[in-house]
Amino acid sequence: MKTNEKERVAIVTGGSRGIGRAIAERLAADGQSVVIAYANNDAEADKTVRFIEENGGKASAIKTDISDETAVSTLFKMTEKIYGGVDVVVNSAGIIRLDTVANFDLNTLDQIIRTNIRGTFVVNQQAARLVRSGGAIINLSTSVKKLALPTYAAYSASKGAVDAISLVLAKELRGRDITVNAVAPGPTATELFFEGKDDETIERMAKMNPIERLGKPEDIAEVISSLAGPARWINGQTIYVNGGMI
């Protein structure tokens, strides 16, 4: 059954901080009930839920390892139990580790693969089974894939897989009236982005786009909001949200 816009229910993985939090807050402001799936930080998840509720929205937080199929199945079942179904799934959870190909630690590579590739696959698998007609599945990719920046090989490769999963799933859901897209942010002003970067590097990356500023989490959330609601004719795409950087 296709649901009314005001009754839509969204799951946002990685929704307690950074871009994921901005997405959760925006979807709640749009009138969607939001379930925030998070890995570890109870305090930040609770803070996000409180913010949404204090602003008139509905939200819950569920601790979830997105690479664990049992945990993700539980996430979807609990969402259905609390809110009656699932209409929108935004997979923004992911990890980034940087080093050259020659020096990259293979155990760290395995962690990236498990979270960014397996995690995306597992979340999308449950979404493909349970998202209601009229719904949307949105995966967070990255613009850095096209820049070929040194030290980004492992992260870029994992996000290339995210694009592939998204575009194939869009075709597999033919006839279901469910859109599937990937959104690829450029450099965005989050705690994760600033970590380990000096001022010169931040300034240089901010000026890589013609608007000459870093993205804000709200810039990404604006695009997600459209894909999660009214933008029903955008499907099977990777959308670059980076101020014209590439």
Name the residues annotated as catalytic: 155
**Measured between alpha carbons, how far is 216 from 149 in angstroms, rounded to an integer?**
21
Whole-number Cα distances in Å, 29 to 6, 25, 154: 11, 6, 35
Q: CA geometry: angle at 180 spanning 177 and 184, to 5°?
A: 155
Asked whether the beta carbons of 209 and 188 are under 8 A apart, the reply is no
How many other CB atoms sit within 10 Å of the CB of residue 85?
A: 17
Closest CA to 153 of 238, 214, 96: 96
| Cα 162 from Cα 238, distance rounded (Å) | 10
Q: Write a three-state SS string for 122-168.
A: HHHHHHHHHCCCCCEEEEECCHHHHCCCCCCHHHHHHHHHHHHHHHH
